[in-house]
Amino acid sequence: MVHKAVIPVAGLGTRLLPLTRALPKEMLPIGDKPVIEHTIRELVDSGIDEITIVTSPRKDLIQRHFAPDADLELQLRAAGKDDLADAVAELSSLAHITYLYQNGPYGNGTPVLNAARVIGDEPFMVLWADDVFVAEVPRAKQLKAAYEATGAPVLALMPMAVEDASRYGVPVVKEDLGGGRLLISGLVEKPSPEQAPSRYAAIGGYVVTPGVVEELQEQTRRWHENPKGEIYLTDALHRHAAGHPVYGQVIDGTWWDTGSPLNYLKAQFAAALAHPVFGPELRELARESG
């Protein structure tokens, strides 16, 4: 069973500068919630409530968002705003959240390895807080089900246009097992369209097993051999897949990547239009402006 998750948030968010100069990209709002809250609620809705956030000193706003605030609750209740007080109280009890400072070589494998030392010898989920999924079954729940069916590492996949291959890790598909589940034999990082081994993109959701953690540890022993001194989770999964089963799960849902200015605006626009209270009026405004 998977009942723990890791969310790496120590990145600089340079693609969204100057917006992220002082505000962590994970705290940018999508609808009426910051991106990272969407991620945590997705995990909780999938039965995962032990969450490790691997962060940096400049991201303390994230901790403050989920911290208890008894004074604010009291002020809201005194003003007769019990609904807002309840919302503030709920945030601090959504999940059991542990914070770690990222420490080690550059690359997205480092926060995973940092957290693995605390989590121990068991599988765990890794999600980045710059993706928002709208799905009848949460993405995390789909990944969890795929792991429970296979007992092996799982990557979240989405179909992609082949001309976008150079933006993603692209899996080498060994066998299509049906139901959106693929057995993969490796990953090619950001290939040219001509060299893309499939038309699926790995989009930042994983179930990581102890065997993949061992590959990350091996990378740290030879990281100085890498010209950039980087450690990457996709490299560890690629190496693990050479001798062990690794699966991809094509996610059934709509994916919004908030990591670039245009994609963030698209995600914000889509969330606003879908809002149960504000959506109808905003859709009317969009029609009048169209």
For the chain, give every domain's residue range: 4-289
**The Cα angle at residue 260 between residues 259 and 266, in degrees rounded to 5:** 95
Residue 45 has pLDDT above 90, yes or no: yes
Mean pLDDT of 239-248: 94
Nearest to 202 by CA among 232, 152, 174, 168: 168
Better pLDDT: 271 or 147:
147
Q: What is the model's pLDDT at position 274?
A: 80
Mean pLDDT of 255-271: 84
Q: What is the model's pLDDT at position 225?
A: 61
Mean pLDDT of the chain: 90
Q: What is the model's pLDDT at position 228?
A: 66
> Phi, psi at residue 246, to the nearest 5°?
-135, 140
Residue 290 has pLDDT above 70, yes or no: no
Q: How do residues 116-168 score in pLDDT, each as one tens digit?
A: 999 989 999 999 988 888 888 999 999 999 999 999 999 999 999 888 888 88
> Phi, psi at residue 34, to the nearest 5°?
-70, 160
The whole-angstrom separation of Cα 127 and Cα 257 is 12
Which residues make Cβ contacts (< 8 Å) with residue 43, sequence separation at least 6?
Answer: 5, 49, 51, 95, 125, 127, 140
Burial of 214 (0-12, 13-18, 19+ CB in 10 A): middle
Q: Return the CATH fold of 4-289.
A: Spore Coat Polysaccharide Biosynthesis Protein SpsA; Chain A (3.90.550)
Q: How do residues 169-224 score in pLDDT, each as one tens digit?
A: 899 999 999 999 999 999 988 899 999 999 999 988 999 999 999 999 988 876 66
pLDDT band at 268 (very low <50, low <70, confident <90, very high): confident
